[in-house]
Structure 1
Amino acid sequence: MLTDYSLKMPKNIYAGSHALEQIATILPAGLKKVAIFTDKGILQANLLTIPQAVLEEAGLTYEIFADIPAEPDYHQAQAIVDQFKAADADFIMAIGGGSVMDVAKLASILTAGDYQVKDLLDNPLLAKKQVPVLMIPTTAGTGSEATPNSIVGVPEQELKIGIVNPEMIADYVILDGRLLKNLPQPIAAATGVDALCHAIECFTSTKRNPFSNTFALEAFDLIFNNITEACTNPEALAAKNKMLLGSFYAGVAITASGTTGIHALSYPLGGKYHIAHGVSNAILLMPVMRFNEPVIKDYFAQAYDRAVHDGRQHLSVDEKSQYILTQFEHIVTKLDIPTSLKTFNVPETDLEDLVAAGMQVKRLLVNNMREIKSEDARAIYKQVL
């Protein structure tokens, strides 16, 4: 466990069943123009109705940027940043999933100077916050609303890279479960498992510390006990609000600690095969957690004590650890998430390329409590090919 640690969070967070109505109190005086970052799915689902009404009532001009693709590469992110710079807006409202929020973060720090997204791949700290940002997640979730991270694809490396800059932490966050009501189950499930991975990975990271443990355990409890209902029942507003809160807490845990082997080995799956990030994590959840279990079973037992509320606290550490692993498997099965790369026609002949790419993600591999060597990555990938 780290002995020196820090915590960075968004400045203002509003949560609950009617949190969207707080937009009116958030908007700073004297704004000229608001940029709404979103995607076409959000537009088609009419999820901008309340935000637009608030802006119109305030007499504010706004422009919608809805061409943000799912899991963009750095070229696509730069194209949106350029459009934003030309719009001359002085406030960003990001309404969407992780990709929308990640691109909005980049726009918030790249409106001044000659830097581009590509420059931040090598030196993410070059740019500084220029425009305040309000994050409103529509999935629960990537946790992007809480983190200083922006994930972009790098096509020439067939990999995803995380740009990490504290300047990208949101100024305002709104968590409102109403935005999750009509989320398609496959998206809800994939993003929900992503949040579950954030929680358990941060709690078992080499960089774990009292700050990250506090948020990761609370996130784990909320997600572990609500993910199935929240993803399968459109009317389960209470469960959806708990998932949003859990996802946010897990995002905070990332800022204090960091994800581990699951995320490290999943980046090549998104970068080369364009498999959704949450699905990539779900595919690798069991192989990586089984690999790690011999050295993190005590932490699994602590997670059990926090999240299992049926009174079965008499079990041994080994039994509690196995219970958590079994429940992970049940969650993925119940939510009908793919667990094999065969679903995506990934050939076994690509194994060595996967291993080579996965081993490049040292930023996250160093967080894994059990060292993942090339032969370990090879064995893990073989299980899902």
Structure 2
Amino acid sequence: MNYHALKMPAQVYGGQGAAAAVGEIAQGHKKAVLFTDRGISANGLLQKPLKQLKRAGVEVALFDDLPTEPSVYQADEVIRRFRAERPDLIVAVGGGSVMDVAKLCSVLDTDEYTVFDLLESPGAARKTVPAVMLPTTAGTGSEATPNSIVLVPEKELKIGIVNPQMIADYVILDAELLSKLPPKVCAATGVDALAHAIECYTSNKATPFSDLYALGALKLIYENLENAYSQPENLAAKQNMLLAAFYGGVSIAAAGTTAVHALAYPLGGKYHIAHGVSNAMMLTSVMRFNKPYCTDRLAKVCDALVPQPGLDKNAKADWVLDWLDRIVQQVHIPTDLKEFGVRPEDLETLVTLGMDCKRLLNNNCRVVTEADARKLYADLLLN
């Protein structure tokens, strides 16, 4: 069958001050659970959403202790607390971890299955509570994806639960919620968005829909990431990065990420390296590995970012790969695994865990063998 589908949030609000739309969305609802973390709560970023919910006459149960990069057990604990509140609306204000747990809750107000069941049978999920997503980082794209990522400690691996039912009903992209974002987090999440876009554009599952959003994300990142990182007060750049991250999330929903994410997941699962940092570590080495199988696509990225008619396709592809490498360096993301306690003797464990991510490896334009994975990890460990 040669047709494509694009599944997206039903309504998207964007622009500085857009967080006020929470009140409009909440009209007619009785009780909301507001998901966030302690850092967001302490920074005062909940004031506007809370004010709007209360103005709409909605009772609010505040869950402000969501963990960073949660395990499936931590997610299950939050789900149990959520169900006890019996809400009819979910509002998530935070980064990818906050939104991922909130999305799980949106399909788990039921006795029919548990989050552990969804690890094995994600297709069982059914939306039971509408969800509103307000991202406070510009990177994960979780507000647009059907994915929720949880750590399974026994496997030392992060696993994606994927079901279109988890796509948010409403998304609000407001750069004012990024006003206190630390540069270090801005960098890691921004490169995460970059990885999403370039992986989706070169994915085996790429479609005309995902291409449109992936190229849009890449152009926005090219024009805004460095300013968003180096100029914390630049809300215009941050607003554009929010849009880029959202576009990247839409691309994931259509095409899926590839070997960059597959090989990065063990770095987060076993060594607790932040998701954006682990993707940054794998990004350029995997894309250089892929180049012979996606030269035409990489050349089209070059044409979209900086048209260079004097270069042939191979040189254009190299320009893109050099840009990926340069941007990771310019936003000062560490790329030496030894800095995070990873040792050369851990190499075979990483290979085994990385090769288990078949869902993503199958999307990669070039087949990744165990020997390939071993070399990609070794290049980071032994440089």
TM over 0.5: yes
Which residue of 2 is the match for residue 222 of structure 1? Answer: 220
Matches within 5 A, 1:42-121: 42-121=40-119
Matches within 5 A, 1:9-20: 9-20=8-19
- Indicate whether 1:355 and 2:351 are aligned: yes
Moved more, 375-384 or 232-241: 232-241
Instruction: Return the offset for 1:313.
Output: 2.9
Matches within 5 A, 1:72-221: 72-221=70-219
- Indicate whether 1:364 and 2:360 are aligned: yes
Unaligned runs of 5+ in 2: none
RMSD (Å) for aligned C-alpha atoms: 1.1
Instruction: Return the offset for 1:333.
Output: 0.8
- Tell whether the 8 Å contact from 2:30 to 2:57 is kept in structure 1 after alignment: no
Structure 1 segments (4+ residues) deviating >4 Å: none
- Indicate whether 1:22 and 2:21 are aligned: yes
- Tell whether the 8 Å contact from 2:134 to 2:143 is kept in structure 1 after alignment: yes
SS in 1 for 2:93: strand
Which residue of 1 is the match for residue 374 of structure 2? Answer: 378
The CA deviation string for residues 300-347 of structure 1, in whole angstroms up to 9 with x for no partner, is 110111112xx5332211221111111111111111101111110101
Instruction: Return the offset for 1:233.
Output: 0.9
- Tell whether the 8 Å contact from 1:146 to 1:252 is kept in structure 2 after alignment: yes
The CA deviation string for residues 268-296 of structure 1, in whole angstroms up to 9 with x for no partner, is 11111111110000000111011011111
SS in 2 for 1:174: strand
SS in 1 for 2:5: coil
Q: Give the aligned residue type for 1:156.
A: E
Q: State how far apart, in whole Å, the 2-side matches of 1:260 and 1:339 are.
A: 19
Instruction: Return the offset for 1:186.
Output: 1.2
Q: TM-score, normalised by structure 2?
A: 0.98
Q: Give the aligned residue type for 1:261.
A: A
- Tell whether the 8 Å contact from 1:3 to 1:209 is kept in structure 2 after alignment: no
- Indicate whether 1:321 and 2:320 are aligned: no
Moved more, 294-303 or 276-285: 294-303
- Tell whether the 8 Å contact from 1:223 to 1:246 is kept in structure 2 after alignment: yes
Unaligned runs of 5+ in 1: none
Q: State how far apart, in whole Å, the 2-side matches of 1:224 and 1:164 are.
A: 29
| Equivalent residue in structure 1 for 2:250, among 247, 252, 262 | 252
Q: State how far apart, in whole Å, the 1-side matches of 2:368 and 2:64 are.
A: 39
| Equivalent residue in structure 2 for 1:337, among 327, 333, 336 | 333
Q: Give the aligned residue type for 2:288.
A: R
Moved more, 2-11 or 373-382: 2-11
| Equivalent residue in structure 2 for 1:307, among 302, 305, 308 | 305
SS in 1 for 2:296: helix
SS in 2 for 1:173: strand
- Tell whether the 8 Å contact from 2:26 to 2:56 is kept in structure 1 after alignment: no
SS in 1 for 2:33: strand
SS in 2 for 1:41: helix
